[in-house]
Structure 1
Amino acid sequence: MNERRKHKLADTAQQIVGGFLLAGPFVVTEEVWSLARNMTPLHSIVLIGAVMAIGYGGLYGADNDRDPRREAAIAGVPIRFISVLLVAFGSVGALAIAITAPAVFLSDLEPAARAAVTVRAISIAAVFSVVGAVTTDSLF
């Protein structure tokens, strides 16, 4: 029985709930935006790597019943893992834009600089969002 486990829309919905739940407090915190102002692209790359490691470890390292080789995949990457990453970064980005956080916290910056700092802030908050996404995915 080499049947691949399908990723359902309900799985993504659970991830979204967890991702938004833990992203919210960090998107609206001025300290996150101040940290993002001082980060370099290298800092963001490290954080993106951390989000990926937390996501993969939370999905497949913490759950002995889940095997990435038995999950539906795109180019060898489990769809569940792709979904968690999209939720982690997407929920933070969507929330930041919806509540106009970049305009509030970065009003003194030019649009290009504002966009760059926003990406860095998203990489910070995604660390927490991925924990919520993975946790709800694993619990339900």
Structure 2
Amino acid sequence: MQLRESHKLADTAQQIVGGFLLSGPFVVTQEVWALARNMTVYNSLFLVAVVIAIGYGGLYGADTSRDPTREAAVVGVPIRFISVMVVAFGSVGTLAFAITAPDLFLPDLSPIKRLVVTSRVLSVGAVFSVVGAVTTDSLFRTE
């Protein structure tokens, strides 16, 4: 019987540090909010796919000592990967909310449109956040 590698709280904590570290500058940059205003749903979905590819590739492609089939999983998806995705998008959303960035950068939009543009910002910021999350997870491995 093959043992499953567990995902520890320390792993998620490391991902959070990396995710917040690299997402911060993009949440507070007016240019990112201006870009998000002009993005379409397709642009956002493409960026979400990029985040997924970077996350999975960084965890399991770049670090060949990891085997996703040996890790604890939910419906076949490794918990470590789920954690990285939650951190990548969650860190951007948390920062945007904490510093009231949508109110600052989108004061002229209705609440619904503000939410739509903010979700687009999440897809932009997550590209950078996932790099930080994956990097710290790989550099500071807990065995």
TM-score (norm 1): 0.99
Partners of 2:55 and 2:3 in 1: CA distance? 23
Taking the TM superposition and a 5 Å limit, the aligned residue runs for 1:1-140 are: 2-140=2-140
List gaps (5 residues or longer) in structure 1: none
Of 27-36 and 1-10, more deviation after overlay is shown by 1-10
Gaps of 5+ in 2: none
SS at match of 1:4: coil
**Deviation (angstroms), 1:87:** 0.2
Take 1:105 and 1:90, find their aligned partners in 2: how far apart are those partners? 19
TM-score (norm 2): 0.97
Give me the CA root mean square deviation.
0.6
Q: Secondary structure at the match of 2:65?
A: coil
**Letter of the 1:2 counterpart:** Q
Code of the aligned partner of 1:124: V
Separation in 2 of the partners of 1:123 and 1:98? 18
C-alpha distance in 2 between matches for 1:82 and 1:120: 20
The 2-side partners of 1:50 and 1:81 are apart by: 14
Count the aligned residue pairs. Answer: 140
- The percent identity for this pair of structures is 73
